Amino acid sequence: MSNTDNMKLPDILIPTEARAALRQKFDSLPGPAELPVYHEDSQDVHTRFAIQSARELGESSDKIKVFFHNAAEAASLHAPEGLPSLLVTSGGAERPLPRLMGTPIGQECVILTHSLILAACEESDLSNKPPSVLDHLQDHRYLL
């Protein structure tokens, strides 16, 4: 157990003003987005932070559906490579969607929120050129 495992998280991670802005944006989306969260049963600070931030995102709008899966379920579902893992999905979309492995702090939370918006819209904000460039890639790319 690390010395951060006993660290107390704030009661609210997403400030009230930000939550109101998220509610307005999420409620205006044409469809729902889902956020399955895969986690270990441990109480380390990263797991607790990921669970609490996902819960708050889900509480901000009925359009954001959050599901929690423990490590045993995670192995049988999407086999995440690292835990905690947050996987953005949309209803019935067959295309790959973003997965955040770790704790959504700072810019990662912004990216997660933007990914939820894109998933609910079931579209991309990429111009036509990048997808054509990406089609030519042969190997996996890992963005760190």
What SS3 state is found at 138?
coil
List Cα–Cα distances, 133 to 9, 21, 62, 142, 144, in angstroms. Answer: 42, 34, 36, 16, 20
Per residue in 66-109, pLDDT tens?
A: 999 887 766 666 555 677 888 888 765 555 567 788 788 888 88
Per residue in 5-60, pLDDT tens?
A: 677 888 888 889 999 999 999 999 998 999 988 888 777 888 888 999 999 999 99
Q: Would you state the structure tokens that stand for residue 62, as one six-digit string?
A: 């009925």
Confidence at residue 5, expressed as pLDDT on a 0 to 100 scale? 65
Q: What is the pTM of this model?
A: 0.74
CA-based nearest residue to 109, from 32, 18, 43: 18
H helical segments located in the chain? 16-27, 45-59, 71-77, 107-121, 129-135
**87 with 95: CB under 8 angstroms?**
no
Confidence at residue 144, expressed as pLDDT on a 0 to 100 scale? 47
Please give the full DSSP string across 27-48, using - where no structure is assigned. HTSSS-EEEEEEE-S---HHHH
Q: Is the pLDDT of residue 132 over 90?
A: no
